[in-house]
Amino acid sequence: MNKKGKTFFEAALPPVLVITLVLFVAQSAGIVDLRTMFAGITGVELPDDDVLEFCGIEDITMKISDYKKDAMGTDPSKSSAVFIDLNGDGVRDALEDIGDVADDGSTTVGVNVDYWVYGGWNAGSGGSYYVQKLSGNTNCRDPLQLNVELAAQDASVSHVVTNDDGTLNSGAALSLDDEEQTTIDVKVWTTAKEYYGNPELGSCNIAVIEYNSTGYDEITLSGAPIGGIAPTPGSHSLVSVANTTKSYYFAPLDMNKQEFRVHIDVGTVSPDALGGFGISIYDCDIDLDADTNEEIIGVEDEDNNELGSTTEPFIIVDVS
């Protein structure tokens, strides 16, 4: 009986199976890394299994564009700061800062990572804008298009002060006597399609009322835009060293007039010889601590540098 000889494949198959089995056992035991071995032999680096198993691609392209809030036809041309949560701890670590992305630019990120994008982070052409924060997960969207809506900062907030008799303070000073108590009204607003204070952050502007405590026992604020008591910004400079301050959180301003009341309690000394008093409004924005990347929401950074306008509105109330 003639025996048929084995073909090459029949002869080679058992050793290949044995070698493959040995390699996979070694891989499972952590003795060898097949991906590293393959890269060393072929020069081709394979993507991680969990990446391919998640959505079949290794990375995605994140694209960022910006436009002016309430005016999509205006392009602020600002850069955006991008952070990726590489280790899944929910913290913006320095190593996770992948840098700035120019307007209409792009960067490469992972397929299943959380991100924070701070639109309008760096200066560009087109004026001053407040930062917009976007966050989410890349979730296999390739390309991932993010559109940043930036609110324009108004550099010239308007205001009107109305005396207790209905006259405008700009035309006639408020008449006060010693030990008198009265209330006046103030309205503030911005230019159309512009804002004072980041409109996405709630009441984080700060209004500082400054007065001479020799002539006034107390001056307080109330009304819709006024929040609770706030710390006086470290950058605030007193008009006079004899003055005292009281500060309140204050809502962001837009073109709709916001009205608040000023309650005045005069002391035993007539204030007419001391002059009037003033109200400064500081606008708030988003910032990141330069050392820790901790998010800051307020009117100043960790070094007391103003985050918003450096020429805040100063409302002077004339008194006679």
What pLDDT was estimated at residue 20? Answer: 55
pLDDT at 44 over 50: no
More confident residue, 181 or 37: 181
pLDDT tens sequence across 26-36? 555 656 555 56
| Domains contained in the chain, CATH given | 8-46 (no CATH), 54-150 (2.60.40.2190), 158-317 (2.60.40)
The pTM of this model reads 0.79
What pLDDT was estimated at residue 19? Answer: 57
* Strand ranges inside the chain, DSSP E: 60-68, 79-84, 97-101, 105-109, 114-122, 132-137, 144-150, 158-162, 181-189, 205-212, 216-223, 226-229, 243-250, 258-266, 277-282, 285-288, 295-298, 314-317
pLDDT at 54 over 90: no
What pLDDT was estimated at residue 2? Answer: 47
pLDDT level of residue 309 (50, 70, 90 thresholds): confident
pLDDT tens sequence across 271-286? 777 778 999 999 999 9
CA atoms of 167 and 276, how far apart (whole Å): 16
Phi, psi for residue 258 in degrees, rounded to 5: -105, 130
CA atoms of 284 and 298, how far apart (whole Å): 5
pLDDT at 40 over 80: no
pLDDT at 21 over 90: no
DSSP designation for 29 = T
